[in-house]
Chains A and B, each alone.
Chain A
Amino acid sequence: MKDLVGVLYKEVPSGVGSHGRLKLNSDDQRRVIVKGARWAVEQDFGSPEDLEKTESGGCMGDVDTSVVSDKAYERGRAQQGTLGSGNHFMEIQYVSEVYDEQAANAFGLYKDQVTVMIHTGSRGFGHQVCTDFLSSMNLASRKYEIPLADKELACAPFNTQEAQDYFSAMKGAANYAWANRQCVMHWCMESLSKVFGSSPQGLGLGLVYDVAHNIAKVEMHNVGCASKRLVVHRKGATRALPAGHPELASAYKHIGQPVLIPGDMGRASFVLVGTQGAMQQTFGSTCHGAGRVLSRHQAIKKAKGRAIWREMEDIGITVMSAGRGTLAEEMSEAYKDVTDVVDVVHEAGISKKVAMLKPIGVIKG
């Protein structure tokens, strides 16, 4: 495990000061923003089948690249194909429990199987888009006389130029994130091939699903007796579409969308499946993770004098981290028990438990 974690740590850049392996010029970058994961597959990072198993095929259409600032492009350029820091991670896990055989089977999951979970996003590119547009949205909120509870929650009516420009840039950031995860997954598969001396196909490696955790989508939902076109903004929430939903790719149409719920590095993560209950109660959404119980600051205080990596080693989990303090901030005690969180959404019927994944190797930024 140490060798494997070491190779993954080396092959996938993570943490402060890390640089991506890709050298993109501005035309390449525009292609990433327009094509998303499709761009990565065209560069031979992964296969076309991966797109079938990615939310929205790994690309939101109609991105106007001119609404994205030069700063966002510059910030994103060096970070394409990097993990990041904070709660971003890559974990080697195994399926410790299967709750729904039929769904697990459809997702290609079975007990004691080894899995890898990657949690990263649009990196500095997405954040620069947010920074840029917060400024113009603050002005728009004033223009459209929308009182703000928090200046960070600036907004404009969806059918205005300001909102449409933002939506275009956000779609570009989502596409950047899908491309990023596709590249990281590809290098992860290469690393596994290297360590185990077999091809990804030989090892049986394949994507289960790639799902966004912070995104706005235009979707059809029932409101009262009418079907309405809505903007559903999932922030700290995950899409959870039921079987038969028109937006699901054929691979999962009969069973429902896989939902990936990361927990903490010492306990577990979960795979759930979307349900009709989510369409009825939560606009096709469920939870997004365990959620913190300690602030980063409190966690660091609590970890003082302890070797978190050794505590993890003692329970059979190999950990590598780039940042000083990251392991303390990310230790299990800093998070709610994801099992409790997942039980709530399962009982509420807004998604159903399929499998529990336990970590054995962890890379933190």
Chain B
Amino acid sequence: MLRYEEIDIAGDIGLKVHGSSVEELFANAALGLYSFITDTDDVNGSTTITVDLTEETTERLLIAWLNELIYLFDVDGFVGKTVDIKGLDGTHLRAELRGEPFDLQRHNPGILIKAATYHRLSIERQPQGYCATVICDV
């Protein structure tokens, strides 16, 4: 299954994410986000960070999750290589990411993502698993 794909949105960047479970959906959403920032093949997993978030709904949690990763990139330069969802119960998320700080010497710069938005946000249950659509501001 395709983990994530970019979709056509005038002006912004659209991300369609797939996962056989909600956990996988969240992990793939993060990897899709990082794929806009740089080629994640060039990123090593020397740094580990954990993210702990609580929101009212799974949809809000997905947006909060991506916005937390955008924040961590802007502040620490952290780019993830692997994402391990340790716990996810619909409104609470705990994840461990391995990656490293972005380094222009080794990492190809892509595009800065400013925010994940609620615009056209959806998480759908499908026969093979889950599919989410997220529009990001660039």
Q: Contact at B110–A325, with CB atoms within 8 Å?
A: yes
B112's partner among A16, A130, A131, A329 (CB-CB below 8 A) is: A16
Please report whether the interface of chain B is mostly helix, strand, loop or mixed according to DSSP. Answer: loop
B102 near A296: Cβ-Cβ < 8 Å: no
Residue of B14, B74, B109, B112 contacting most chain A CB atoms (<10 Å):
B112
8 Å CB interface, A254-291 against B: none
By the criterion CB–CB under 8 Å, are B114 and A127 in contact?
Answer: yes
- Contact of A297 with B7 at beta-carbon distance under 8 Å, contacts A16-B37, A75-B74 already known: yes
| B71 & A17 in contact (Cβ 8 Å cutoff) | no
Contact A124–B114 (Cβ < 8 Å) = yes
Give the complex CA separation of A80 and B12 in angstroms.
23
Contacting residues of chain A (100-146) with chain B, CB-CB under 8 angstroms: 124, 127-128, 130-131, 134-135, 138
Return the chain A residue nearest B37 by Cβ. A16
Interface size class of B (residues with CB under 8 A): 35 or more
In the complex, which residues of chain B have a beta carbon less than 8 angstroms from the beta carbon of A138?
118
**Known: A16-B102, A292-B11. Is A150-B111 also a contact (CB below 8 A)?**
no
Complex CA–CA separation, A323 to B104 (angstroms): 11
CB of A295 within 8 A of chain B? Answer: yes
How does the 8 Å CB contact mask read for A1-28 relative to B, with 1 for contact and 0 for none? 0000000000000011110000000000
Q: Does A365 contact B (CB under 8 A)?
A: yes
Query: Which B residues are in CB contact (< 8 Å) with A15?
Result: 109, 112
Looking at the complex, which one of B14, B75, B109, B119 makes contact with A74 (CB distance below 8 Å)? B75
The answer, among B107, B112, B115, for a CB contact under 8 Å with A86, is B112
For A, the interface residue count at a CB cutoff of 8 angstroms equals 37
- Give A130's nearest chain B residue, CB to CB: B115
Q: How far is the CA of A40 from the CA of B68 in the complex (A)?
A: 30
Q: Are A295 and B8 in contact (CB under 8 A)?
A: yes
Would A152 and B7 count as touching, CB distance under 8 A? no
The closest CB in chain B to the CB of A76 belongs to: B74
In the complex, whether B2 has a CB less than 8 A from a CB of chain A is no
- Give the shortest distance, in Å, between A124 (CB) and chain B (any CB): 4
User: Is A323 a contact of B111 with CB atoms below 8 Å?
Assistant: yes
Instruction: List the 9 closest pairs (A to B, CB-CB), nearest first.
Output: A151-B118, A16-B109, A127-B114, A152-B119, A85-B112, A124-B74, A295-B8, A86-B138, A17-B102
Kindly list 17 other residue pairs between chains A and B, CB separation below 8 angstroms, not including A152-B117, A294-B10.
A16-B111, A16-B112, A85-B111, A85-B112, A124-B71, A124-B74, A124-B114, A127-B114, A130-B115, A131-B71, A135-B64, A151-B119, A297-B8, A322-B109, A323-B111, A324-B108, A324-B110
